[in-house]
Amino acid sequence: MTPLIEARDLVRLYPGVRAVDGISFAVEMGQCYGLLGPNGAGKTTTLEMLEGIQAPTSGTILFKGQPLNRTHAESIGIQFQATALQEFQTVGESLEMFASLYRQSADRDELIRLCNLGDILDRDTRKLSGGQRQRLLLAIALVNDPELVFLDEPTTGLDPQARRNFWGLIERVRRRGTTVILTTHYMEEAERLCDHVAIVDRGRIIAAGRPAELVRQHFPARVIRLPDTAWPDQTPLLEGALAGNGEIELYAEDLSAMLAELERIGADLSELRVATPNLEDLFLKLTGHALRA
């Protein structure tokens, strides 16, 4: 099947900076695709090229198999990292103003329900909380009923509760069949929302795939932790085990075999923990530096 949108070997140079350094990926209809990476990785620049806002230095972008054209422009919605809202307007007036810019528009009442704006329609846009503002910006991005919506770090700066609420909205948008491409530096957000992620660092994709598969592929072993007091006296540590900070850490490719072995040597398993690595651990493993500085 032809992907909805595809990037082939995109490069974007700024004076002295290779902001995007050869990025390729394809997004299928209905997917939520995440570009995950730290500040400055090149996520926004990549998004802006896919949005048609800036031209690549080299490389190709295809929308439904065609170079970017008017169909693309009319089929997308964008939630920018920062959008200036018109002053002295209410939420409802803002929505109407943006809707008037398009030939095609979403059903207003449905959009208001979808983005939970019913209670704040008459509120001045300068008086909105961070979460309310993001909900309005999402509604504005959806005002032309786009097939594909771009969300650039949509939850940066929100408190954890507002972030979770916003995730619920993005899930609703997807259930309606809208394709979503988002950027984030929150691995939890990528794991929760995206069925595919590309991990971006220094302008390149360093790993891509389904979040759980990516983690499994790079961390075949499970990590087991025990307090060091749980280890039987006089028993040497197993090969590959690490001891430090009052804990013993073991790596097990076969979890049940490892548990059987620990039982056999008489370790106390009552406080044993099995840790599952996540995308943050993966990023650290691949780059040697943390996702968030």
Ligand X SMILES: Nc1ncnc2c1ncn2[C@@H]1O[C@H](COP(=O)(O)OP(=O)(O)OP(=O)(O)O)[C@@H](O)[C@H]1O
Nearer to ligand X by Cβ, of 51 and 153: the residue is 153
Nearer to ligand X by Cβ, of 37 and 131: the residue is 37
Tell the smallest beta-carbon distance from residue 110 to ligand X (Å): 31
Nearer to ligand X by Cβ, of 153 and 189: the residue is 153
Tell the smallest beta-carbon distance from residue 14 to ligand X (Å): 3
Tell the smallest beta-carbon distance from residue 40 to ligand X (Å): 4
Query: Residue 201 and residue 39: Cα distance in Å, rounded?
Result: 9
Of the candidates 217, 209, 163, which has an alpha carbon nearest to the alpha carbon of residue 186?
Answer: 163
Tell the smallest beta-carbon distance from residue 181 to ligand X (Å): 13
Nearer to ligand X by Cβ, of 48 and 191: the residue is 48
Tell the smallest beta-carbon distance from residue 92 to ligand X (Å): 31
Nearer to ligand X by Cβ, of 23 and 173: the residue is 23
Tell the smallest beta-carbon distance from residue 293 to ligand X (Å): 11
Nearer to ligand X by Cβ, of 98 and 166: the residue is 166
Non-local CB neighbours of 93 within 8 Å, separated by 6+ positions:
none
Nearer to ligand X by Cβ, of 191 and 201: the residue is 201
Residues that bind ligand X (CB under 6 A): 14, 17, 19, 37, 39-45, 153
Nearer to ligand X by Cβ, of 19 and 120: the residue is 19
SS3 assignment for the chain: CCCCEEEEEEEEEECCEEEEEEEEEEECCCCEEEEECCCCCCHHHHHHHHCCCCCCCEEEEEECCEECCHHHHHHEEEECCCCCCCCCCEHHHHHHHHHCCCCCCCCHHHHHHHCCCHHHCCCEHHHCCHHHHHHHHHHHHCCCCCCEEEEECCCCCCCHHHHHHHHHHHHHHHHCCCEEEEEECCHHHHHHHCCEEEEEECCEEEEEECHHHHHHHHCCCEEEEEEHHHCCCCCCCCCCCEEECCEEEEEECCHHHHHHHHHHHCCCCCCCEEECCCHHHHHHHHHCCCCCC
Tell the smallest beta-carbon distance from residue 163 to ligand X (Å): 16
Answer yes or no: are the C-beta atoms of 248 and 241 closer than 8 Å: yes
Query: Residue 46 and residue 286: Cα distance in Å, rounded?
Result: 21
Tell the smallest beta-carbon distance from residue 49 to ligand X (Å): 10
